[in-house]
Amino acid sequence: MLDLSRLNPQQLAAVQHTEGPLLVLAGAGSGKTGVITYRIAHLILDKKVPGDQILAVTFTNKAAKEMKERVQHLVGRKGSKGVVLSTFHSLGVRILKRDIERLGYKRNFSIYSTADQVGLVRQIVREINTTDVKYDAEKIIWCISGAKNKLIPPDKYIPSFGDDIDFMAAQVYPRYQSALKAFNAIDFDDIIMLTAELLQHHPEVLKYWQERFRYIMVDEYQDTNSSQYLLVNHLAAGWGNLCVVGDDDQSIYGWRGADVGNILDFEKDFKGCRTIKLEQNYRSKGNILEAANAVISNNKVRKEKRLWTAAGSGPPIDLCIVQDDEEEATSVVERIQLERFNRDTPYSSFAILYRTNAQSRAFEEQLRFEDIPYVLIGGTQFYERKEVKDSLSYLKVIANPLDEVALLRIVNFPKRGIGDGTVIRINQWSIEHECPLFEAFGRVAEIEGVAEATREKVLAFHRTLLDAAQAFAAEGGLAEKGAELFKKLKIEEEIFRTIDDAAAARRKVENVEQIINSMAGYAERIPNPTLSGFLEKVSLMDEDRFSGKDKKDHGRDAVTLMSLHSSKGLEFPFVFLVGLEDEILPHRRAIYEDFTVDEERRLCYVGITRAREQLVMTRALYRKKYGKLQERIPSRFLEEFPASVLNVQQSGVVKETSPEEEVKSAENFFSKMKEMFG
């Protein structure tokens, strides 16, 4: 018999309900993985179900491996034999390997990598594109991927009106799919789509797998998309013993196809379903949970649940009001150092969570300034992002015209019609005449073989750099000069012109803005700021990144920096949830495109519930945009926090504000907004 004494009453009920459909609404930190593994062990040891009749599906190999290890611990390696614990895609490959021949493929099919897909799509675009317009293969693949996740076949794909990329994707999709089949290959999205097609159109195949899997469990059900939903429904229709575990309040991947409606409608889809709520939280202190409950309750379309804990209230939530983003980073790092000193807390206990990756810049700089190790999860370090390196290359050439690597990087950023052939010709001339490349650009009229129109473009480029160098040599604000240069170059327009995904383009523009903000912060800290000094600071940061010490620290004991999307499923003793301002959290895109901001509120909820012991939130009165301070509006979510759990801390010349006044100020602002816009 399996010892179930460690389970609370709700967990026990979920483990023992084995027949018929079951919806387990598992709140954050409520022990859902334990429920799934104990349920599998209960089926094997107490119900005597053969392991090969049990299927448990999750989203990552890491989660599947953890479940497998836990099950083996409970029932032993022999007892767990035959149990299928896998990701959706591993399950799909298992099914396709047996019967894909029915769809016209051979069993030894290949699975194309992203690089393979890009190469194939580029080839197809070259064949069908009759214009001078260049198309990004990865964007076309993204469109096709979205269609496949919604089970839209090539002949049913309808492009969005006025979207050139989508229109091209509609032309590429049928040719791409035919080519894959001709090569006996499938891509990652085909794994689920073809599996669903196989089960839907071949009853004998469906019957085999339905009889094989008598008990089915799905983890993180709120993250399923249309194709995964259909796959699960087909398999579960045989016995009806489907248990799904998830939390609609943590559905934060709508942008990549996840449909929260799958979990919200589960009780309608499976008649006679039993619903069990796991509301006891084993992670966070009471004040953290009270705040999380208060915020998420403002989402009207959700399954009602309220987290609670037996671990006590814990300290209040600190809300730090700071002057600007630089002070925000400084205050967070100072708090980390203080906690380290007072409690001897390891760096790995701290996490800094933010809504957008551009926010990481100030924290990265401050942590490096204080020689504190950190690891950046789910993103490229700020100064390694392409648009950042491109923009910085202008500053490098202005500071040092002999930096030919930086010069070659910016010749056609933004696009200015100077072809590779012209650049090669100028470079060859500079070598033959022992002349620096920058000078050669200015003497292009002396170089044979360069067309007159192209010479004018080269000279205009050269003059732009000379004018900028003259501007930076004069007295005045460093950040203002940088902002003026980037504006003159029309870098923002270039990003939006070349990137059709508006959200991705905005993120890149925000990163370019952060360069100017970094220059402004540097100028405020240094008595006699210079462009060379700023670039030296950036270079030293890169040197640290490649040093052995940096690498070692990141692997051992380091502060974690990550976006809210990347933080799901993780937990830390100390969490800093930064940027609690409208247009950051909630993000400006959500405010203007989805007036309910439900998914943004779920993101906030996820961030709050990552904290075990202490949650610190920050909001700035001002933030730099292209180096200039702009007044900020407090996040509308702040009005939803109970004043009783907040401890407002203020820095600089900020006037004293009580928790009640801070919440009230947010309430007053948004009541006026509601009056204006309904």
**Signed CA dihedral, 555, 559, 564, 569: sign only:** positive
User: What is the CA 38 to chain-centroid distance, rounded?
Assistant: 32
Show Cβ contacts of residue 77 under 8 Å, excluding neighbours closer than 6 positions: none
Q: Tokens 């967990």 identify what position?
A: 11
Q: Return the structure tokens found at 255.
A: 């942008």
Asked if 629 and 622 count as a contact pair (C-beta separation under 8 A), the reply is yes
User: What is the CA 547 to chain-centroid distance, rounded?
Assistant: 27
The residue annotated as part of the active site, out of 214, 610, 619, 624, is: 610
Q: Is residue 308 packed enough to be buried (19+ CB in 10 Å), middle (13-18) or exposed (0-12)?
A: middle
Alpha carbons within 13 A on the beta-carbon side of 534: 28
User: Binding site membership for ATP: which residues?
Assistant: 26-33
Q: Return the structure tokens found at 309.
A: 């804990």
Question: Is 94 assigned a catalytic role?
Answer: no
How far is Cα 285 from Cα 457, in angstroms, rounded to an integer?
63
The H or E element containing residue 561 is strand 559-563
The residue annotated as part of the active site, out of 189, 220, 582, 600, is: 220
- Nearest partner of 485 among 390, 420, 409, judged by Cα: 390
Buried b (16+ CB within 10 A) or exposed e, 341-357: eeeebebebbbbbbbbb
- Nearest partner of 337 among 503, 153, 173, 574, judged by Cα: 574
Is the N-terminal amide bond of 315 cis, ω within 30° of 0? no
Question: Is 32 assigned a catalytic role?
Answer: yes
Show Cβ contacts of residue 5 under 8 Å, excluding neighbours closer than 6 positions: none
Question: Is 365 assigned a catalytic role?
Answer: no
The residue annotated as part of the active site, out of 32, 361, 457, 612, is: 32
Asked if 354 and 514 count as a contact pair (C-beta separation under 8 A), the reply is no
Asked if 289 and 307 count as a contact pair (C-beta separation under 8 A), the reply is yes
Rounded to a whole number, what is the distance in angstroms from the first to the last CA of the chain? 60
Q: Return the structure tokens found at 474.
A: 């004069």
- Nearest partner of 227 among 207, 269, 198, 251, judged by Cα: 198
Other beta carbons within 10 Å of 155: 8
The residue annotated as part of the active site, out of 18, 33, 87, 649, is: 33
Please state the length of the chain: 678
Alpha carbons within 13 A on the beta-carbon side of 566: 17
Asked if 459 and 450 count as a contact pair (C-beta separation under 8 A), the reply is no
Question: Is 250 assigned a catalytic role?
Answer: yes
The residue annotated as part of the active site, out of 166, 190, 219, 553, is: 219
| 3-class secondary-structure state, position 649 | strand
- Nearest partner of 80 among 47, 45, 46, judged by Cα: 45
The residue annotated as part of the active site, out of 250, 514, 560, 609, is: 250
Other beta carbons within 10 Å of 75: 21
Residue 424, strand partner residues: none
User: Binding site membership: which residues?
Assistant: 26-33
Q: Tokens 């247009």 identify what position?
A: 583
Question: Is 189 assigned a catalytic role?
Answer: no
Asked if 278 and 31 count as a contact pair (C-beta separation under 8 A), the reply is yes
Q: Return the structure tokens found at 580.
A: 């609690």
How far is Cα 493 from Cα 364, in angstroms, rounded to an integer?
27
Question: Is 10 assigned a catalytic role?
Answer: no
Active site residues: 32-33, 219-220, 250, 610
